[in-house]
Structure 1
């Protein structure tokens, strides 16, 4: 079943246009202030009611939900969106509250913030709350967005643990069930900045039928029709395709041993590039210009 809704996953450190994230702890030197025409703005543009949308921010993954929730309210207000609410869900009991189900039924956008993705899967898994989210995503013009932990948890399979430096040691990367909004992919976040390529290599080697998606900071993918992936934001997205793996030792070596992998295929996506998840085809947007710190798409000369 092709979803009628849209899914937008973000690698973390999204520019909120505010004091919390703007120009602070930015890892790469070419970062630009990407607020007005950036990721949050794209969320509004893709929503059914634009600035009149009802947005519910879910802070469950965060250890500082009050601060994070207020930050998103203020950031969306700067974009003239005033109907933004926070769902401070901290337990499975909270997730089963009728009030929250009613609010999800009326929302146009749901935004999962960052934090720890295992909190999301363990609190929402098997609840009517998650069932309603999936129903609305498949049947309505409804947008689900997630950043950092919220993005990592969006897929059916989810990385929840594993150091970057020892990721290719058997047993170091831990995978469990995610929220299940999209199948046949596995997502990692803060990807370029935290050197997590090994985690994604390992995850894909353990199941080559999954496409590995590594989202850099202030980078995201807008997923429409269930299989059309468009790169957004100022960062980079790395795709790891395991379908052509020729050989791997992952199923033979002992726990604690290094893993070998041959034949991985890797793509790099930047803003406006598209990937067809069904055909496994990448389309690169060749012509992009920057005006006053904003990326603009120019029609490809060969189109």
Structure 2
């Protein structure tokens, strides 16, 4: 099991400088990844950081952390721009990027700007956009004429460091999200609530993971959660269930920035 941070970049963490400070502490303390939210929180009254600017700053400040989004609502973004941004970030970081994608759980972040907020349409756009992004990362000429997107003979350059592509992890716990996750490289699951309680047991995770992908294939399952310093038994039980990444939930409801920085500085619950 690897250990990362899942950072809610709203409120006090909407300032990328604070995220960089946290990332430096995390890398020094032995955490292996930093994943940030991708929300237009200002739509509903919460300051929010741009994920790509923030992750670029983290990439420059660190040398080992895997970085990525958990998760990007791809249906409200232009896939060609996302493909270029992620490719540039992968180059900047030396191949340390994971692209997390999902449906998006706040319809107002679509409708406030005139975008379609219907879940079925968003799902269609998500699936089609994932295909376009992956095709552009290949470095080959892309010709795509789908229901929602068109690409006329475009070849992306430069391409990401990672080949054949940047890993794509799918977020979401619904049956459609799990089916989508099976087609890509990983699955991100929310395992805790805003009160800091685990809502998914290791036994439940083992059941959900079973059959997701053949065990011989490289595949990641990332679980967000809350741990205390030295809680190695907790990590071990989820690792035994098939979880490959523990993502420690860091958000303003859990404590003050000083308290959360102290928790990160204490290091991950290794021992799994």
TM-score higher than 0.5: no
Q: Which has the larger radius of gyration?
A: 1
Q: Which has the higher helix share?
A: 2
TM-score, normalising length: structure 1 = 0.33
Q: Which has the higher strand share?
A: 1
